[in-house]
Structure 1
Amino acid sequence: MTEAATTETPVTASFRLRFHAISDVGRVRKDNQDSGYAGPWLLAVCDGVGGAARGDIASSTAIGELRQLDEQPGSGDLLVRVTDGLHEAHEAIAGQVDQDPALNGTSTTATVALFDGNKAAIGHVGDSRAYLFRDGELSQLTTDHTFVQTLIDEGRITEAEARVHPHRNLILKALDGLHEVEPDVFALELVPGDRLFLCSDGACGVLEPARIADVLSGGSPEYAAIELVRASLEAGSSDNVTCIVADVLTEEQAAEQPPADPQVVGAAAELKRRLPRTLFRGHRSGDTGELEPVAAEIPDGVDFAIRADPVDPEAYRYAPRPPARYAWTKRILALVVVLGVLWVALASAYWWTQQQYYVGDHDGHVAIYRGIPGVPGLSSLYKDSDVPVDSLEPGLQSELDDGISVDDYDQAKDRVAMYAHQAQNAEPSE
C-alpha cells in the first residue's frame, strides 16, 4: 500500500469486529475458486473465474494483496485506501498473467469492507455481495455488476426471475489484470449491534433475502457463517460457497471475548497437499470440511462438446455472450443470406410470369401480352395485330378487356388468327 498510509495518525476506534469466515467447495465443483479473508480491520471475498485459466489463482492473488489493508487505518481517506487496494490486486493479477500466459482470461470478483473502528469503506467489483443486518432488517449494500442486474434495473425482469435466468452469471466487471475497472466505493457508518455479511454468489445466488435475514438474526458469527453455507448447499447451490459474518461490538463487549486471529479461507488457504474431503455437517458438529462432489446435471440443449469437455464448468461462466463485433458480423451475414434467398425467390417468380401469355385489347386492336393479366409491372405488350376489337362479338370484347389467358405463345397466335377470321366474316357484304 502507499507509504503515506503508514505515517497517518491512527483514528480512535470506538468499536471492534468479531468475525468468522468459511469457504466450501460445494457439491459440484472439483476445485474451490473462491478466496476469503477476515481480520480485525478487513473483510474480503473474491470469487475467481477462469476454469482452465485458474480462477483460484486470480482470487488468491487478489486476497494476497487486499489482506495488506488489515491494519488499523490512519486519519487518511478510507475510500482511497480501498480503491488503491483493489487496483493493487488488479496489477498483481496482471503480473501473474505476464509470468504465465496460460492464465490469460482469469479474473475475480472482489467485495471488501475496510473497518476503522467507527465506519467501514465498502469496495465492490463483480457479483459477490455485502449485506448489512441492522435492527432485524437486511439491506443489500452492493449492486451486482451483471447482465441480469441491468435487466432488473430496466424493469424487464424481477429479482426472482434473475435467480433462474440463463445468463445470471454473466459478469460485466471483474479484476482481470487487463481491463481497467472503476470499483464501486462508498462509506458506511456503523453502530453497535450491526452485523456485516459478505459472500460469493454461491450463497446469494440461491438464498432469498428472507432466509439470509433469518439466519443472521441469531447466534454467533461462526454459527451464522456455517449455517449460511449449509443453507446455500441445501438450496441447491452448484457453486463454491464463501461466507463471512462480522459483528460490530463496543470496546466493553469485545473485552469479554478473546481476540480472534485473522482467517484466510478458500483457494488462498489451500495446502499443496489436498486433505481428504469430508461431508459438511454444519454447525451441529463444527465440521467445516468440503462436501463430497457429485456429478453436475447438464441441462438439455447444451452443446455436446461442453458435455464432453473435462474442463471445470466454471470456464463457461463468461461464455454466454461473445464480443459485440462478432455478434454484429453474424447478424449481418444472416441478413445477407435472408436477402439472397428473397432475391432468388422474387427472380424465380418474375421469370415464371414472363413465360405466361394472354390475349387482350391494345388501343382498340387485339394484341398478345406477356405476363399476368391485371397485374401492373408483371404484364407487357408482346405483339400487336390489325384486328379491330369492335369487329368482334360484344361478349368477346368484354373478355379481351379483362385479358384471355392461354397456355403458350403458339396458342395466343392461334387465338388472334381465329379472331381475325371472325372479324372478316362479320364485315357486311356488298
Structure 2
Amino acid sequence: MTLSLDYAALSDVGRVRRNNEDSAYAGPHLLLLADGMGGAAAGEVASSAAVQVIRKLDKPGISGEDMIEALAGAVHRANERLSELVEEDPEREGMGSTVTALMFDGEQLGLAHLGDSRAYRMRDGQLQQLSHDHTFVQSLVDEGRISAEEAFTHPHRNLILRVLDGRPDSDPDLGMLDVRAGDRLMLCSDGLPDYVSDEVIAASMADGTPDSVVVELITHALEAGSNDNVTCVVADVVETDPGSGTTPQLVGAAAELAQGSTGRGEPTIAVRGGAGEEGAGGSAAGAEELDPEELRYAPRAPKRFLWLRRLAVLAVVVALIGGGAWFAYGWTQKQYYVGTDGDYVAIFKGVDQEIPGLTLSNVYEKQALQVDKLPTYSREQVEGNIQADDLGAAKQIVSELQRTAEECAAKQNPKPSPRPSTPPASGKPPVSVPPKPPATTPAATPGASTTPGDGTTGPDDCDGVR
C-alpha cells in the first residue's frame, strides 16, 4: 500500500463580483490555487497563466528535496510568463496573482507560497495553517501590534504585500512538510478566511468527503457575506493500491484555457464549474463601480523593467545636465573682457575661468597697445582683466587705455618751444623782452580726481610707464 490523494476542487464567482479571477488545479501529485488581481480582466489572465505553467509539475518522478527546486523553478517561470503578457498588452500592467501549491511525492509535501491565499492541514482533529500571509495586517500581527482577532476585522486586511506579478522580486516561501494517512489538506483563496473563522473552517473539514467539504466551505463564505470569489481545494491523504489514478480537476478562470487546449496533447482534465452557476450566489447584481481587487496592492510602487526605468531617468538627467551645460557655455561665449596677451592689450571673448578639458575664452582682437606703456594703475587693471558688458564696451575700454597711454607719452616727451632763426633786418640789436611770468597754477586738492580728456592721465599720473 502507498499514500495518494483523494481530492476535489470548486470555485464560485461570489454574490458581488462580476467575474471570477480565481484559478485552481488538483491532481495526483499537485494541489494548486491562484487568486488573480488587478481589475478588469487582468486578474483572470494572471491566475490562469500561473496555473497553466505550474500545473505541469503534476507528474511522478519528482521527490524529496527535488520538489522544492521544481516548485521554485515553476513559480519563476510563471512569473516570467506574466511579464511577457504585460509586454504584449501594457494595459495589463499592475496585474498579479497569489500562488499556493502543495506538491506530493507519496511520502512528503513540498510547499510554495506567495500572497494571501492559504494552505491548511487537518490532523487528529486539529486545524493548522501551513502558509504565512504576505499581507499588511499579518505584518502587524507578527510585530505584536495587533492580535489575530483584530486582524480578522481590520479594514486593511486585504492589502497584500507580495504577489506573483512579473517583477524580479517575486520569490515564494518554500518548505517541506511531513504527511501521513488521515491528513486532510485544504487550499483556499482569501474569499473564505476573510469571512469565515478558523473554528467554522475546522468544523467543516472534520467530516464528509472532499466533494462535500468544498461545497460546505464555499456556502459558509457566501452566507457570511463574502464579496469576493471563493475557491477551495480539499484533498485527503489515503492509502491506495499502487497504480490507482484520479482525473485532474481544473476550476475557475483557468478552466476556459484548459477547454481551449483540449485535444492538442494536453492531459485530460475535468473542468468543474462554480457553485454559483447553480444558484449559490453567482449574480453580479449590486457590483460596486470600483472593483475592490484593483486596490489590493495598488500602493506598491511599480518595479517592472526596473533597469529600463532607471535608464530612462538617467537619460533625462543627462539630457538636463547636458542642456544646462550647453546653455551655460553659450552664455560664456557672449561675454567679453580686456586683458593681456603677452606684452599687448587684447580683447577676449568668453569668461576668465578654467575647466579641465574646456576652453572658456580666447583672444578676439589683439591690440597694438603695449601693456608697459600704461601707468601702474591702468596696467594692474588690465592684467587683472577688465570685464565689459559687450563687445562695444570692450572696445571703449581699449580706447580709453590708448588715450591714457598717449597722454603719458606726450607728458614724458614734451615738444621744444620755437625760437627766432634770423636777426632783425634793420641791423639793430635785438630788443630784449622780459620773460612773461609763469601762470600761477592752483594747488591740487588732496584726493581730487581728474576727468579723462582734460589733459591728465589718471590716478597714478603716468607713474610706472616704461
Q: TM-score range by the shorter chain?
A: 0.5 to 0.7
**Which amino acid letter does the alignment assign opposite residue 47 of structure 1?**
D
Match of 2:282 among 261, 281, 291: 291
Within-5 A mapping of 1:3-402: 14-52=2-40, 54-75=42-63, 77-252=66-241, 259-270=245-256, 280=276, 287=278, 291-296=282-287, 310-319=289-298, 321=299, 323=301
Q: Give secondary structure in 1 for the equivalent of 2:186.
A: strand
Hey, what's the Cα distance between the residues in 2 that align with 1:322 and 1:126?
14
Alpha-carbon shift at residue 251 of structure 1 (Å): 2.0
Distance 1:231 1:162 in 2: 20
Shift of 1:280: 4.1
Partner SS for 1:67 = helix
Q: What TM-score comes out, normalization by structure 1 length?
A: 0.63
DSSP 3-state at the match of 1:62: helix
SS of equivalent to 2:192: helix
Equivalent-residue separation in structure 1 for 2:106 and 2:199 (angstroms): 29
Cα deviation per residue 1:228-264 (whole Å; 9 max; x = unaligned)?
1111111111100000000001125x88xx7431111
- Please say if residues 22 and 265 of structure 1, whose CA atoms lie closer than 8 Å, have aligned partners that are also in contact: yes
Separation in structure 2 between the aligned mates of residue 322 and residue 59 of structure 1, nearest angstrom: 19
What SS does the aligned partner of 2:80 have?
helix
Given the superposition, is the C-alpha separation of residues 245 and 322 from structure 1 closer, same or farther in structure 2, using an over 3 Å criterion? closer
* CA–CA distance in structure 2, aligned partners of residues 121 and 184 of structure 1: 11
CA contact 2:140–2:146 (8 Å) conserved in 1: yes
Q: In 1, Cα distance between the equivalents of 2:275 and 2:97?
A: 27
Bigger helix fraction: 1
Query: 1:161/1:261 Cα in 2 relative to 1: closer, same or farther (>3 Å)?
Result: same
Q: Is the 8 A contact 2:11 2:22 kept in 1?
A: yes
Closer, same or farther in 2 for the Cα pair 1:129/1:279, shift >3 Å?
A: closer
**Could you say what secondary structure the match of 1:61 adopts?**
helix
Task: Tell me whether 49-58 or 219-228 shows the greater mean CA deviation.
Answer: 49-58
Deviation at 1:165, TM superposition (A): 1.4
What fraction of aligned residue pairs are identical, expressed as a percent? 46
Q: How far apart, in 1, do the equivalents of 2:165 and 2:228 lie?
A: 20
Q: CA–CA distance in 2 between the matches of 1:195 and 1:278?
A: 22
Other structure's SS at 2:137 match: helix
Q: CA offset at residue 167 of structure 1? A: 1.2
> Following TM superposition, by how much is the alpha carbon of 1:53 offset from its aligned partner in structure 2, in angstroms?
6.0
Structure 1: gaps (5+ residues): 1-12, 282-286, 297-306, 325-430
Using the size of structure 2 for normalisation, the TM-score is: 0.58
The two structures, once aligned, show a CA RMSD in angstroms of 2.4
Q: 1:84 to 1:278 in 2, by over 3 A?
A: closer
Please state how far the C-alpha of 1:289 moved relative to its aligned partner: 6.5
Greater gyration radius: 2
How far apart are the structure 2 equivalents of 1:278 and 1:203? 14
Query: 2 CA distance for matches of 1:65 and 1:288?
Result: 32
Distance 1:241 1:212 in 2: 13
Q: Distance in 1 between matches of 2:7 and 2:19?
A: 25
Per-residue Cα deviation, 1:143-185 (whole angstroms, up to 9, x for no partner):
1000000101111112221122121111111010024222111
Could you tell me which runs of 5 or more consecutive residues in structure 2 were left unpaired when the two chains were aligned. Answer: 261-272, 303-466
Aligned to 1:205, the other structure's residue is in SS state coil
CA distances 1:284-334 after superposition (whole Å, capped 9, x unpaired): xxx5876223315xxxxxxxxxx7xx4533212223x4649xxxxxxxxxx
CA distance in structure 2 between the aligned counterparts of 1:86 and 1:201, rounded to whole angstroms: 20
Q: Secondary structure at the match of 2:138?
A: helix
Partner SS state of residue 103, structure 2: strand
CA distance in 2, matches of 1:44, 1:270: 17
The amino acid across from 2:129 in the alignment is Q
**Partner SS for 1:226:** helix
